[in-house]
Amino acid sequence: MPWLEVETKVKIHNAADMRRRVLKIAVFAKKRKKADDYFSIKRNGYPHKAFRIRATSDEFVVNFKKWLKKYWSKDIVVKQEFEFNLKGREHVEHLLELFRDLGFSEWIRKTKISESYRYKKDGRANIEINNVEHLGFFLEIEYLCQMHEMQKAKGVIRQILEELEVKQNDIDN
Q: Average pLDDT for residues 6-33, to the nearest whole number? A: 97
pLDDT at 116: 98
pLDDT at 42: 87
Please report the pLDDT score of residue 56 as a whole number: 77
Residue 140 host element (H or E): strand 136-145
Q: Give me the pLDDT at residue 45, please.
A: 79
DSSP state of 152: H
Whole-number percent of the chain with pLDDT over 70? 99
Contact 8, 141 (CB under 8 A): yes
Query: How confident is the model over 20-75, as pLDDT tens digits?
Result: 999 999 999 999 999 899 999 988 878 888 999 998 777 899 999 999 999 999 99
Residue 157 reports pLDDT greater than 70: yes
- 3-state DSSP percent of the chain in helix, strand and coil, to 5: 25, 50, 20
Residue 123 has pLDDT above 90, yes or no: yes
pTM (predicted TM-score) = 0.90
Strands (DSSP E) found in 68-104? 77-86
**pLDDT of amino acid 119:** 98
Question: What's the pLDDT score for residue 112?
Answer: 94
pLDDT of amino acid 134: 95
